[in-house]
């Protein structure tokens, strides 16, 4: 007789218990659904892994994995317990279940919400039909539509949340106490933040080791006059590409530390770019500086010797590239050679 009274409800309609996550939502949703719905809150998670050794049930305390709350040797089986501060909530929900015909789990629609719904199902063990009620806004049309079209529990979402929770425990439970002792109290480690911190540290070290470099193109404005009497001698621009058959080093020849890259498979001295000291630059033609130390800026003092065989006369203006102000450099006669080197830095050459 009691079951018949419960099924018929006050007006003969089916009565449903709707469980949401927060008390605020419960009060608002109750106003939209009417008297045939009882809306109550779980106040978040009601069940979780043990937070402390005192939370572990007595029958598991002797197990080596009990402190973690995850039995690694048994396919990572978690040990769930009802949180001490949620036992009264569970008792209230069980009492409400006695007077309804259906249970609607209306927790949030994400992984955590799906997991809370599953834990409610596992803890309350209802003997009445259970449905999953999902909504994405708290408005009367959205709530009524969700109540009229419930779905089943999504076990894939539940498994995803459980896996994440177990990983959080395994990664962070042992490392966090080390942080408290070695760094500062109240710090925590985890599967995401610890890895992300490591990546940030690695990239910061790379940034600190990076040596910013500047590169210049060497060009010369020349004229092709054969005598001083030429009124308007033809002019042209020459760009330095090679010296004595060797390619001048460019930006792609240097690594992030500003060092000249070694080419693979080099069979001779000309198999790749190499770096020489200032003394070597003074002895050899075409040694061109390929980098500057950004962390230790040096003066841009340079001596450029230019001799262009345009009509047999060494007359030209040597210009720096667009990265710096255009200005003429010192010129000095030296047959058949073009010299450009920095006095205060190593010299890079290539071919």
CATH number, domain of 26, equals: 3.40.50.140
Sign, CA dihedral 165-115-41-99, equals: negative
| 351 and 216 both lie in a single domain | yes
Per-residue pLDDT of the chain (351 residues; tens, 9 = 90+): 334 444 445 556 789 999 999 999 999 999 999 889 999 999 999 999 998 888 999 999 999 999 899 999 999 999 999 988 999 999 999 999 999 999 999 999 999 999 999 999 999 999 999 999 999 999 999 999 999 999 999 999 999 999 999 998 988 888 888 888 888 888 888 888 888 888 999 999 988 887 776 667 788 888 877 666 656 778 888 888 888 888 887 777 777 676 777 765 444 333 344 343 333 333 333 333 333 333 333 333 332 333 333 333 333 333 333 443 433 333 333 333 333 333 333 333 333
Quick check: is 158 in a domain? no
Q: 183: buried, middle or exposed (CB in 10 Å: 19+, 13-18, 0-12)?
A: exposed
| 219 and 204 both lie in a single domain | no
| 121 and 261 both lie in a single domain | no
**What is the DSSP code (8-state) at residue 97?**
H
Give the DSSP H or E segment for 19. Answer: strand 16-20
| 121 and 200 both lie in a single domain | no
Domain count, the chain: 3
Q: Please say which residue of 192, 209, 226 terminates a domain.
A: 209
- DSSP-based three-state secondary structure for 24: helix
Structural domain harbouring 234: 210-351
| 203 and 221 both lie in a single domain | no
| 93 and 7 both lie in a single domain | yes
Distances (CA, A) of 49 to 78, 159, 224, 298: 7, 15, 87, 60
| 13 and 109 both lie in a single domain | yes
Quick check: is 78 in a domain? no
């Amino acid at each position: 007789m009691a079951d018949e009274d419960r099924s018929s409800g006050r007006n003969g309609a089916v009565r449903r218990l709707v469980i949401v996550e927060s008390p605020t939502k419960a009060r608002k949703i109750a106003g939209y659904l009417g008297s045939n719905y009882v809306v109550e809150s779980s106040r978040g998670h009601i069940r979780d892994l043990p937070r402390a050794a005192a939370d572990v049930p007595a029958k598991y305390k002797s197990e080596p994995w009990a402190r973690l709350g995850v039995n690694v040797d048994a396919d990572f089986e978690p040990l769930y317990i009802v949180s001490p501060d949620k036992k009264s909530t569970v008792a209230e929900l069980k009492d409400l279940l006695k007077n309804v015909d259906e249970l609607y789990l209306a927790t949030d629609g994400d992984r955590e919400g799906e997991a809370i719904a599953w834990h409610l199902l596992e803890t309350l063990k209802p003997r009445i039909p259970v449905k999953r009620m999902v909504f994405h806004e708290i408005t009367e049309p959205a709530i009524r539509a969700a109540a009229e079209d419930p779905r089943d529990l999504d076990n894939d979402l539940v498994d995803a949340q459980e896996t994440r929770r177990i990983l959080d425990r395994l990664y962070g439970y042992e490392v966090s106490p080390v942080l408290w002792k070695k760094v500062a109290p109240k710090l925590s480690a985890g599967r995401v933040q610890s890895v992300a911190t490591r990546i940030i540290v690695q990239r910061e070290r790379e940034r600190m080791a990076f040596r910013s470099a500047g590169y210049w193109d060497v060009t010369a404005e020349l004229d092709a006059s054969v005598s001083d009497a030429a009124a308007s001698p033809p002019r042209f621009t020459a760009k330095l590409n090679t010296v004595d058959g060797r390619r001048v080093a460019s930006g792609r020849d240097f690594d992030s530390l500003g060092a000249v890259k070694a080419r693979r498979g080099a069979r001779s001295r000309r198999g790749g770019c190499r770096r020489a000291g200032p003394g070597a630059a003074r002895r050899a033609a075409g040694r061109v500086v390929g980098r500057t130390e950004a962390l230790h800026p040096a003066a841009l003092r340079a001596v450029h010797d230019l001799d262009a065989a345009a009509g047999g006369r060494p007359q030209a203006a040597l210009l720096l590239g667009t990265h710096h102000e255009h200005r003429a450099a010192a010129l000095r006669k030296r047959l058949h050679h073009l010299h450009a080197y920095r006095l205060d830095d190593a010299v890079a050459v290539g071919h």
